[in-house]
Amino acid sequence: MENQRPAVVDITLGQILAETAAKYPDRDAVVYVDRDFRLTWSEFNSLVDRFAKGLMALGVQKGEKVAVWSTNVPYWVALQFATARIGAVLLTVNTSYKISELDYLLKQSECENIFVMDGFYDTDYVRTMYELVPELKTQERGALKSEKFPHLKRVAYLGPQKHRGMYSVPEVVALGKMITDEQYAERQAGLHPDDVVNMQYTSGTTGFPKGVMLTHKSIGNNGYWIGENQGFTEQDRLCLPVPLFHCFGCVLGVLAATTHGTAMVILEKFDPLLVMKSVEREKCTALYGVPTMFIAVLQHDRFKDFDFSSLRTGIMAGSPCPVRVMKQVMDQMYMKDITICYGLTESSPVMTQTRMDDDIRRRTESVGRAMPAVEVLIKDPETGDQCASGVQGEVCTRGYLVMKGYYNMPEATEQAIDADGWLHSGDLGVMDEDGYVAITGRLKDMIIRGGENIYPREIEEFLYNMEGISDVQVAGIPSRKYGEEIGAFIIQKEGVELTPKDVQGFCKDKIAFHKIPRYVVFLEQYPMTASGKIQKYKLRDMGAELFPDA
């Protein structure tokens, strides 16, 4: 499977889409089950061309950033390829951002264009834009001059509705008629696979978010191999309920599908009932999600009412997968070929992936092995030397997938990528003799209790076996005596009432005394980034507040 084409191909995202549309013109490309929206690859390709010409007509230049602040609405994916076709840089904005975070992002990125939707949860995006850029209400469209954001030229609405000072998508598309085919072709001829095409701001679980610059070549090739490792073809149909603003959506999802002609059945936001309806109605063969999404589907009251027999593969990523959940997904949801991916936004993002023929032990105890044409090493964080098989160190990667750097942050870029081109993940892991990597925690996640190094993953896996526990996260809690104590943050199954003593009793005599959680906290949900990553530092902060005398 890994020898069908060169491991790394010099190609732009626009060329990838054109090739797929030529090969599979009449097959489904984009589908939304909850509304009347279905485009073939030929129709989608045509929409992208009209959208791209419209952006050119607005005056969007090669290298300009085009931000998108929106959930997975139908025009999102069209904008992803329309920007790529004219050499603009798609700047994805976290849907949970508030006004101060958007303010920071627009300034730090020197963003020239932004598309927004109505809003999400308790944030009104349109009103936020008017607060940040009051000039929108008084100035002529296309002649915006913002005092606060000197780089910002255009604001648009990612839909058909009209808002003062903003272009709507139908207006942008209609303007495309002003651009000739020759002008459009000339713009595309000036593009290069090594150009930056995508910029994503890391979740910022520590410090200020950094703009990760990714190229056509890095995410296009990464997307191809992600799909290849799931056996994707034009016969597959991928249910995509994860956010498009994150690599999980726009690379693992959109680019893995587009490189293989696989249909994308997209959800505007995650809803377990709509996931089940989409899989059944569209006979999806693949499904993506973080472990908490799969748990939400498996534990849904109506789970048994739906037919999952069309499912075959998919990806679980974002945080480690409990063995019990993986077995349920494979048995009850028919996803025998499900894969696990690991990586960072900075690595385009996937550096390792399990393969379809890996056994369940590999799929739960490891995050797979290196992708084709990618080097992955475990390095000693102190010396930088390569660790021997089975010895823990920092997971590092090198190859086409490494980001160009952080936008306007040369020092942070130097800290992340060393002089030999290795990207340092900040994650701790071990590699076995066959090249399979297991993540044991983050450099910062490691708990040091009285000089003992303790890895949260080990305790989490143990506690997953306790009846009544739906999910568990382990984090260090500051302690005067030991430096850190172990805190277990537990979500209970519905109708179950555990006590801290129950949890400690379950551990007694089964794991080393120093690994037994001293503190147990029961929660309804975990603090998460919008991309589904659990923010352990917030759990540590919570523990410090709850147990100040630890």
pLDDT digits (tens, 9 = 90+) for 428-478: 999 999 999 999 877 777 788 877 778 788 899 889 999 999 999 999 999
> Mean pLDDT throughout 126-146?
96
How deeply is 419 buried, as exposed, middle or buried, from its count of CB atoms within 10 A (0-12, 13-18, 19+)? exposed
Question: Does an H or E element contain 75, and which?
Answer: helix 75-85
The pLDDT of residue 273 is 98
Give the residues across from 528 on adjacent strands.
534
Query: Considering the chain, what percentage of its residues have pLDDT values greater than 70?
Result: 98
| Res. 217 pLDDT band, cuts 50 70 90 | very high
**What is the predicted pLDDT for the residue at 2?**
46
Question: In the prediction, which pLDDT does 203 show?
Answer: 59
Res. 3: pLDDT tops 60: no
DSSP letter, residue 520: E
The answer, yes or no, to whether residue 1 has pLDDT greater than 50, is no
347 pLDDT more than 90 = yes
Q: Is the pLDDT of residue 233 over 60?
A: yes
| Pairing outcome for strands 313-316 and 286-289 | parallel
Cβ atoms of 530 and 467 within 8 Å: the answer is no
Query: What is the reported pTM?
Result: 0.88
- CATH code for the part of the protein at 38-201: 3.40.50.12780
Measure the CA–CA gap between 370 and 7, rounded to whole angstroms.
Answer: 12
Considering just the CA atoms, what is the radius of gyration of the chain in Å? 24
Superfamily designation of domain 454-546: ANL, C-terminal domain (3.30.300.30)
DSSP letter string, 393-453: EEEEEEETTS-SEETT-HHHHHHHB-TTSPEEEEEEEEE-TTS-EEEEEETTT-EEETTEE
Q: Where are the domains of the chain?
A: 38-201, 454-546
Mean pLDDT over all residues of the chain? 94
Here the tokens at position 296 are: 């939400």
Q: Tokens 């990207």 — which residue?
A: 423
Residue 205: the pLDDT is 42
pLDDT for 7-51, tens place per residue?
999 999 999 999 999 999 999 999 999 998 999 999 999 999 999
Average pLDDT over residues 301-322: 92
pLDDT at site 68: 98
Is a pLDDT exceeding 50 seen at residue 349?
yes
SS (H, E, C) 211-270: EEEEEHHHHHHHHHHHHHCCCCCCCCEEEECCCCCCHHHHHHHHHHHHCCCCEEEECCCC
How far is residue 358's CA from residue 336's CA, in Å, rounded to a whole number?
10
Burial 201-224 (b: 16+ CB within 10 A, else e): bbbbbeeebbbbbbbbbbbbbbbb
Give percent above pLDDT 90 in the chain: 82
- Minimal CA–CA distance to 125: which of 146, 90, 101, 107? 101
Number of Cβ within 10 Å of residue 147's Cβ equals: 8
Question: How is residue 29 written in tokens?
Answer: 């490309």
Element (H, E) at 357: none
Q: Where are the alpha helices (DSSP H) in 2-40?
A: 13-23
pLDDT tens, residue by residue, 350-380: 999 999 999 988 988 899 999 999 999 999 9
Question: 534: closest CA among 459, 470, 456, 473?
Answer: 473
Question: Distance of alpha carbon 367 from its chain centroid, rounded?
Answer: 16
Q: What is the pLDDT of residues 255-293, one digit of tens each?
A: 999 999 999 999 999 999 999 999 999 999 999 998 889
Do 286 and 309 touch, CB atoms closer than 8 A? no
Please give the pLDDT value at position 207.
Answer: 57
Sign (positive or negative) of CA dihedral 277, 278, 279, 283: positive
DSSP 385: P
pLDDT, position 402: 98
Rounded Cα–Cα distance for residues 460 and 512 (Å): 14
Q: What is the mean pLDDT of residues 214-240?
A: 98
Q: Over the stretch 470-515, which tens digit does the pLDDT of each residue have? A: 999 999 999 888 889 999 999 999 999 999 999 999 998 888 788 8
User: Three-class SS of residue 319?
Assistant: coil
**What six digits make up the tokens of 154?**
């255009």
Q: pLDDT value at position 257? A: 98
Q: How far are the Cα atoms of 230, 301, 442 from residue 345, in angstroms, in the given order? A: 20, 35, 16
Q: Are strands 37-40 and 28-32 parallel, antiparallel or unpaired?
A: antiparallel
Q: How many CB atoms lie within 10 A of CB 466?
A: 15
- Note the pLDDT of residue 324: 87
Q: How far apart are CA 115 and CA 121, in angstroms?
A: 18
CA neighbor of 265 nearest in space, from 21, 28, 531: 28
Q: Indicate the helix (H) or strand (E) that contains 275.
A: helix 272-282
Residue 329: per-residue pLDDT: 96
